Amino acid sequence: MLSKNTVLMTRKAIESSYDSTADIFEKTKVINSSITKFKETKVHSDIKCRLSYNSIGVTTNGEANATVTQIIKLFMAPEIEVKPGSVIHVNSMGITKAYKCSGKPAVYPTHQEIVLDILENKA
């Protein structure tokens, strides 16, 4: 087990690489005239973070149909709660893109890693 000082130093080093910000939205119930609808509500804003991209393989279905599988991860502070299915708008280098949290984040003492899927036509 790491000492508290080592965790703090490691966390500081990881957070020094954060070059983006994120706004996190969750779906909340809105009941109007006995009709239940869901609305995206911002639950966190301007959270410091970093995107990471990893290509894990190429699938070839003939020369013209090759596809690359890419995993997108978002790194941020461990105390920020991000629920599966949340929509996350990440602003990186002046460009905002929308993603969906595809599962439960992996939370560590120094950071958390959230696997993302790209949301088309958002942000």
Domain extent listing, the chain: 4-118
pTM (2 decimals)?
0.83
Residue 29 tokens read as: 């119930």
Q: Which residue has the tokens 């790209």?
A: 118
At 63 the three-state DSSP class reads helix
In terms of residues, how long is the chain?
123
4-118 topology per CATH: Thrombin, subunit H (2.40.10)
User: In whole angstroms, what is the distance from residue 112 CA to residue 74 CA?
Assistant: 8
Instruction: Write out the chain's pLDDT in tens, 123 residues.
Output: 789 999 999 999 999 999 999 999 998 888 888 888 888 999 999 999 999 999 876 666 666 666 778 899 999 999 999 999 999 999 999 999 999 998 899 999 999 999 999 987 655
